[in-house]
Homo-oligomer: A and B are copies of this chain.
C-alpha cells in the first residue's frame, strides 16, 4: 500500500508547555492531530477550570481556533476539591491528571495520599470527567513502579469507584495492557516511542538521554506486548504520545529531564509500527476512534493521508526561540511514512 487515508487522529496525551516552548512545539502536534489532550503540569500548574480556560486561550492564540482543538485537563493535587472538579467540568475540562509525588517532570507537587482523593474521584465520575493517571508508585524500584501502582492504587480504585473512567497513561508493561479487557471503564494510552524502545535503548549501550522518559522503557517482552495491544485493534487502547519537549540543555546535562519529543512525527512513527506488523487496517482505531469514544467525543470529520515517502527528521527544532532547541525522536533519520499536513501552520 503506497498511500492510504484515515480519519483525522487525536493525541490523548501531549505536553505543549507554555511561552516560547509552546510556540515551538504546538504546530507540530497540530500538523497531524485534530485534537490533543494537553497536560496541565505547567509551572504554576493548571489546577482549575479558569486556569485551563486561560491555557486553552494561549494555545489557540498560537494555532488559530479552527485548525486545532486543545482538549483541556486540570492537575489533580492533594488540595483539589469536588467543587473544583464540577467547576472545571462546566468550563469544558474533560480530564483530571494525577501524578504521584516526584515521579516525573514538575511532579514535586504531586499527590501524596491517593486515598485522600476518593471524594474528588467520585465527583469526577459524577460529572463525567476522566481520571488520567501517571501510574507509577514513588519510592519503588524504577522498573517495578508501574506494576506496583496497578496492584496498590489502580485496582483498588477501579473496585471502589466503579463508575469512574480511568486512563492508565503511557503504559510500559505487559501487565498494564493485559488489564484492559477486564474493566470496561479502564483505558490505556500508549506512546509512539514505547512502541520502539526498550531499556537497552536508554542504558544498554551508551547513555541516551533523548530516549529517557518516565515511565522508562522496559523489557523486550513488554514492548512486544504494547505493540501487540496497539496493533490488534482492541478498544480502550489508544494513542497518547506523551510527547514531552525539553530544551537540549536540560537533557544533555548533569541531571537530565525525562521526556521524549515525538510530536514532529508521532503519526508517522505509529504508522511505521502498524505497517511492520501488517496491521494498517487497525491504525485508525488506535489513532482516531477508541480514544474519542472513551472520552465521549464525536469522531473527527476530516482525514489525513499517509504516503510511503521518506520523512526526514531534523537534528533540532525550535533552536531560534529556545536556548538550544529540542532534539526530536529519531533525529537525523529518515522515516518510511509521511502524513499530509492537516493545515498550513505558522512555523512549519
Contact = CB atoms under 8 A, between A and B. Distances in A.
A6 interface: no
A210 interface: yes
A341 interface: no
A207 to B, nearest CB: 4
Interface string A46-85: 0000000000000000000000000000000000000000
A220 B142 CA distance: 11
Nearest to A198: B141
Interface stretch (A172-180, A233-241, A247-255): A247-255
A199 interface: yes
Contacts of A220: 141
Q: Which of A198, A251, A253 has the most CB of B within 10 A?
A: A253
A206 interface: yes
Contacts of A143: 143, 199
A316 to B, nearest CB: 11
A207 B142 contact: no
Given A209-B256, A256-B209, A142 B327 contact: no
Contacts of A210: 254
Given A252-B253, A254-B327, A327-B254, A142 B206 contact: no
Contacts of A257: 206-207
A334 B316 CA distance: 39
Contacts of A204: 141-142
Contacts of A251: 207
A255 B141 contact: no
B256 A142 contact: no
A174 to B, nearest CB: 14
Contact of A200 (B142, B206, B207, B212): B142
A202 interface: yes
Interface in A253-281: 253-258
Contacts of A216: 203
A256 B141 contact: no
Nearest to A207: B256
Best-buried of A200, A219, A254 by chain B (most CB within 10 Å): A254
Interface of A: 102, 141-143, 198-200, 202-210, 212, 216, 219-220, 251-258, 327
